[in-house]
Amino acid sequence: MTTRPVGVFDSGIGGLSVLQALRSELPHQSFVYLADSGHAPYGERDATHVITRSRLITQHLRAAHDIQALVVACNTATAAAIHLLREEHPDLPIVGLEPALKPAALASRTHRVGVLATRGTLQSAKFQTLHQSLADQADFVLRACDGLADAIEHQDLSRIQALAREHVAALGGCGAASGQIDTVVLGCTHYPLILPTLRALLGPEVALVESGAPVARQTRRMLPQAAQTGQPQPLWYTTGDAGELQAAVQRWLQAQVRVEALKI
């Protein structure tokens, strides 16, 4: 058994939704959360930027915290960089995110599935390969939600409402009737943080599918042996404004935490 922490990083606060699932699955495990808010949003930046930041953060978490595993709690970073991180750190278990297209296709009764994601995720080769492999299982309606992750990152409630309304409307008809979208994939870790807003816009008949719980289960499987006692609080770091991450944790996770700002 090891008490070494698990590292979790995202371009900002979106990974809080994944960390919440991780802590539910592994209540006695210690975590280090790093929000790369000073270099966000990843989803609207080029792949070179995302790869560079993902490499630097992985190196930092290993050197500063001796992490035993890494969770890339960002769809865009997973799509752009996880294959390189695994090549460069073969001794480190690394868990990434994948938009839940397959479970959504299996769950859909109308065989029409909406996908809300960042432009970076939808344009990635990893996503396109996944999409093509499932093309015969459902009709996927893809929507690049420009601006939405950034609005959530900055907790701009009026902008969140306006952008969520715009992007949901762009999917087309949603509901349980034939020809309608009855299942929507949340393909960015920021989006589960506004679940009530999305639920109100989509209606009660539409299923929402996200990746936090599957990632948490996979992380548990990859750890040598999960800790069995204690409830350690995560360590919190950001490359942006510490007050913003503190406010985000308080808003979305109802917790008071101390955040340290980093320059990496």
Angle of helix 125-133 versus helix 75-88 axis, rounded to 10 = 110
Give residue-wise pLDDT tens across range 135-159.
999 999 999 999 999 999 888 999 9
pLDDT score for 136: 95
Q: Which CB contacts under 8 angstroms, 24+ apart, belong to 19-24?
A: 19/73, 19/234, 20/212, 20/253, 21/212, 21/213, 21/215, 21/216, 22/71, 22/212, 22/215, 22/216, 22/219, 23/234, 24/216
74 is catalytic: yes
pLDDT score for 229: 65
Q: How would CATH label the architecture of 101-210?
A: 3-Layer(aba) Sandwich (3.40)
- Within 8 A by CB and 6+ apart from 37, the residues are 11, 12, 13, 153, 238, 239, 240, 241, 244, 245
pLDDT score for 246: 95
Residue 61 sits at φ, ψ, to 5 deg, of -65, -35
**Which residue among the candidates 18, 70, 138, 188 is catalytic per the annotation?**
188
Distance CA 33, CA 36 (A): 10
Q: Where does the chain hold its CATH 3.40.50.1860 domain(s)?
A: 6-97+213-261, 101-210
Distance CA 119, CA 77 (A): 12
- Based on its alpha-carbon atoms, the radius of gyration of the chain, rounded to whole angstroms, reads 18
Asked whether 19 and 84 are in contact (CB, 8 A), the reply is no
Give residue-wise pLDDT tens across range 163-176.
999 999 999 999 99
188 is catalytic: yes
**Which residue among the candidates 18, 69, 72, 74 is catalytic per the annotation?**
74
pLDDT score for 1: 47
Burial of 260 (0-12, 13-18, 19+ CB in 10 A): exposed
Helices and strands, number each (H, E), in the chain: 11, 10
Stated pTM of the model: 0.88
Q: pLDDT per position in the chain (264 positions), as tens? A: 468 999 999 999 999 999 999 999 999 999 999 999 999 888 778 899 999 999 999 999 999 999 999 999 999 999 999 999 999 999 999 999 988 999 999 999 999 999 999 998 899 888 999 999 999 999 999 999 999 999 998 889 999 999 999 999 999 999 999 999 999 999 999 999 999 999 999 999 999 999 898 999 999 999 976 556 677 899 999 999 999 999 999 998 899 999 999 999
CATH class of the 6-97+213-261 domain in this structure: alpha beta
